[in-house]
Structure 1
Amino acid sequence: MPQTSTPEMSTMTDFAGRRKRLQASLRERGAEAMLVTHATNVTYLTGFTGDDSYLLLSPQGALLLSDPRYDQQIGEECPGLEALIRKPTELLLKVTCATLRKLSLPNLLIEGEHVSVNLFDHLQAESGIPELIKGHGQVEALRMLKDATEIALLRRAVSIAERAFTSIRAQLSGKQTERELAHELDRLVRKMGGSGCSFKPIVAVGARAALPHAVPGESTLDSSPFVLIDWGATLGGYRSDLTRVLVTSKIPAKFARIYETVLTAQQAAIDALRPGVLVSEIDRIARESIASAGMGKRFTHGLGHGIGLDIHEAPRLGKNEDRPLESGMVVTVEPGVYYPGFGGVRIEDDVLITDRGCEVLSSLPRELEANQVELLDGP
């Protein structure tokens, strides 16, 4: 899907430096060149926000293979980057293979997790390259560590999401449906300067909050004393991701216990975030905190994930992950406890790993008392 660029993204980012770092990693793999076919990775390496285009990195330099729809756009977004614009009657795959044949490369690294069987077969049969090396996560490894421009965009994406949420919580009405609230969130994100929500917002009233990925429906806010909202904003292609649970009437005692359990686990995990700590250790800390309250079996997903150009990217905070945290990573911390038929609580914030520890980028209050709201037309 095409991204939306901003002047900050196109003029301040060192895309050439990113490509040089990737080329250095290719030499470590013994690869002569790399074909980048995943649209998000092409954007990361070039600033180009269109689609249906590939980036070829070879000893001859960087070459963007695209089509006439994007001729002017490439000039604006990627000044100085060489581009091969295929004719409207030509297929991208055919032009790519013809280009590779001219280079006479001994091998080519491809994005193993993004290349289809059809693309692989065509490259193998028509590129003239003796060896195709199936890579894994070469560009994603670079994307894990955010540079100053990326961090600035993420900060603003968080701020836009928070401003939209603050605005919407001040005007909640009892007859408002989950679907209406989700649509209003997207409208407000755009009004605040974002290009839209990072993903389709999750709005789940009462028992439906037990569904971690609930699809907003027709349940109204006055049909239960609480509502879970998971949303984010996109700015310059970069995505924030937050979750809050609002209480709209008298707090059930069971709900209060769940909420405090989740909040305690989240804070314990955040307190442990610093360079060198394994992501699995962070997950363990939150999981054991919830288990100590007797709710361990109700925490049914990983603790969090990286955010950036994708809403879910490396690193994943999970129990089977052995990657150490590094300064420059930006991750979500989102423990949750879910009881089918009753509801659930998930509290999520976006956190930057720094040289000395971490910085929580989001600032919305997390305490239960601060998340009580009054519906405009009553319960």
Structure 2
Amino acid sequence: MASSSSKSNPRLSKLRRLIKQSGADALLVTNFKNVTYLTGFTGDDSYLLVTPKNEILFSDPRYSEQLETECPGLELEIRQPGVPILSTVQKAVAKAKIQTLGIESPSMTVELFHKLCAKLDKVKVQPVDGFVEQLREIKDKQEIALTREAIALAEKAFAIVKAGLRGDQTEKEIEAIINFEIQRNGGRGTSFPPIVGVGARAALPHGTPGLTKIQEDSFVLIDWGADYQFYKSDLTRVLFTGKAPAKMKKMYDVCLKAQLAAIEQIKPGAIMKDVDHAARSVIAKAGWGKNFGHGLGHGLGLDIHEAPRLGSNVDRPLEVGMVVTVEPGIYIPGFGGVRIEDDILVTKDGHEVMTSVPKSFEEMQVTL
């Protein structure tokens, strides 16, 4: 996590430059994940005021001890029970003589915006567009290390599921095992509710696990990830538990070819829509273009879905330090679906596939 000392925190230094360029005097950070990113504080219900010279974290007595441990040296404003957090913000803004206050427009609710404006009736409240999210796109060494740990936890859980797969297990049982194994090995849990779809249910890109048993068809799609110290991983594999229909094998081979083609394109400066096209064109050529109805991938970090996004309309270059998923899919309602997903780090020399779960068709065979 980030250091709470502004002098040794490059994230805050970069943020201050963005605030200055926007014309605001300060920024009120109300997105709890962004507060964590900037300070290392892992609680919630707390805001951070970033001024040109210092930072103030507004919280409540529940977190006093935790803040002393996680954020030594950070100026704190601990409100007493019954005192609204905006009242403490108002006093700090007045004391700092802030005339223009930036707020996080991508995440602040309309209700909170109106309450803040009412409290700060003599201050110009200026929406700014995702300053902290911009910084979060580029992972530093610590974030990359935490992501590797999240990947290792996810891969260990999947290996246990694969080795112990039984025909009488339900989708929900697989979901529960993944979550248990991640927590048992030190993770906070899954990075999102796992997607487990047997047979035709694999055609639901975000299907919810149910009581369908593994033995009810010859394949199962599993999309899962782990949360380690708030950083996320995200993988998808399809396991074959019986003789796969010829159509299913062709879908799998095409999907894998598409994924490998896209990964090959990843390097600094590569345009995101071109990476998406590399995969999409393979699937379209095979006749399933209309069956790939989502973007190719997304960034991940403190959130499971965060910027950047690999999509057909994203005309931005990849940069060193970005971590993105590459997850093409082919979905045929009533029959089934394939998605193959890995986590990729953009490096100065090209890219690194951070995930290592095997994915050839032969390696996805499981004997029940």
TM class by smaller structure: over 0.9
Deviation at residue 350 of structure 1 after TM alignment: 0.3
Partner of 1:259: 252
Moved more, 279-288 or 127-136: 127-136
Partner of 2:178: 185
Cα distance in structure 2, aligned partners of 1:302 and 1:185: 26
The one of 305, 310, 313 equivalent to 2:303 is 310
* Pairs aligned (count): 367
Cα distance in structure 1, aligned partners of 2:252 and 2:52: 56
Deviation at residue 163 of structure 1 after TM alignment: 0.8
Q: In 2, are the aligned partners of 1:108 and 1:129 still within 8 Å (CA)? A: no
Partner of 1:171: 164
- Written as runs of structure 1 = structure 2, the 5 A alignment for 1:353-368 is 353-368=346-361
Cα distance in structure 2, aligned partners of 1:164 and 1:315: 27
The answer to whether structure 1 residue 136 and structure 2 residue 129 are counterparts is: yes
| Residues 181-209 of structure 1 deviation map (CA, whole Å, 9 limit, x = unaligned) | 10011001112221111111100000000
- Written as runs of structure 1 = structure 2, the 5 A alignment for 1:277-296 is 277-296=270-289
The one of 269, 272, 289 equivalent to 1:276 is 269
Q: In 1, are the aligned partners of 2:30 and 2:108 still within 8 Å (CA)? A: yes
| Residues 96-137 of structure 1 deviation map (CA, whole Å, 9 limit, x = unaligned) | 123222222120110011112222112222224432111111
| Residues 154-196 of structure 1 deviation map (CA, whole Å, 9 limit, x = unaligned) | 0111111001100111001101000011001100111222111
Partner of 1:22: 15
Q: Structure 1 residues 137 and 273, CA, compared in 2 at 3 Å: closer, same or farther?
A: same
Moved over 6 A (4+): 10-15
- Written as runs of structure 1 = structure 2, the 5 A alignment for 1:104-123 is 104-123=97-116
Q: In 2, are the aligned partners of 1:275 and 1:355 still within 8 Å (CA)? A: yes
Q: Provide the secondary structure at the position in 2 that maps to 1:204.
A: strand
Moved more, 183-192 or 331-340: 183-192
The answer to whether structure 1 residue 146 and structure 2 residue 139 are counterparts is: yes
Q: In 2, are the aligned partners of 1:327 and 1:355 still within 8 Å (CA)? A: yes
Deviation at residue 12 of structure 1 after TM alignment: 11
The one of 225, 230, 250 equivalent to 1:232 is 225
- CA RMSD in angstroms comes to 1.4
Q: Provide the secondary structure at the position in 2 that maps to 1:203.
A: strand
Partner of 2:67: 74
Cα distance in structure 1, aligned partners of 2:228 and 2:129: 27
Q: Structure 1 residues 260 and 13, CA, compared in 2 at 3 Å: closer, same or farther?
A: farther
Q: Structure 1 residues 204 and 12, CA, compared in 2 at 3 Å: closer, same or farther?
A: farther
Q: Provide the secondary structure at the position in 1 that maps to 2:223.
A: strand
* Structure 2: runs of 5 or more not aligned: none
Partner of 1:127: 120
Q: In 2, are the aligned partners of 1:13 and 1:149 still within 8 Å (CA)? A: no
| Residues 300-351 of structure 1 deviation map (CA, whole Å, 9 limit, x = unaligned) | 1000000000000000111111121000000000000000000000000000
The one of 19, 34, 38 equivalent to 1:45 is 38
Structure 2: which amino acid aligns with 1:258?
A: M
Moved more, 28-37 or 120-129: 120-129
Cα distance in structure 2, aligned partners of 1:202 and 1:303: 17
Cα distance in structure 1, aligned partners of 2:115 and 2:149: 42
Q: In 2, are the aligned partners of 1:265 and 1:285 still within 8 Å (CA)? A: yes
Cα distance in structure 2, aligned partners of 1:59 and 1:233: 37
* Structure 1: runs of 5 or more not aligned: 1-8
The one of 304, 318, 323 equivalent to 1:325 is 318
The answer to whether structure 1 residue 196 and structure 2 residue 189 are counterparts is: yes
Q: Structure 1 residues 13 and 234, CA, compared in 2 at 3 Å: closer, same or farther?
A: farther
Cα distance in structure 2, aligned partners of 1:10 and 1:351: 23
Structure 2: which amino acid aligns with 1:261?
A: V
Structure 2: which amino acid aligns with 1:110?
A: I
Q: Provide the secondary structure at the position in 1 that maps to 2:107.
A: coil
Structure 1: which amino acid aligns with 2:46?
A: S
| Residues 272-315 of structure 1 deviation map (CA, whole Å, 9 limit, x = unaligned) | 00011111111111111110111100001000000000000000
Deviation at residue 59 of structure 1 after TM alignment: 2.8
Cα distance in structure 1, aligned partners of 2:174 and 2:4: 36
Cα distance in structure 2, aligned partners of 1:268 and 1:176: 35
Structure 1: which amino acid aligns with 2:148?
A: R
Deviation at residue 246 of structure 1 after TM alignment: 0.1
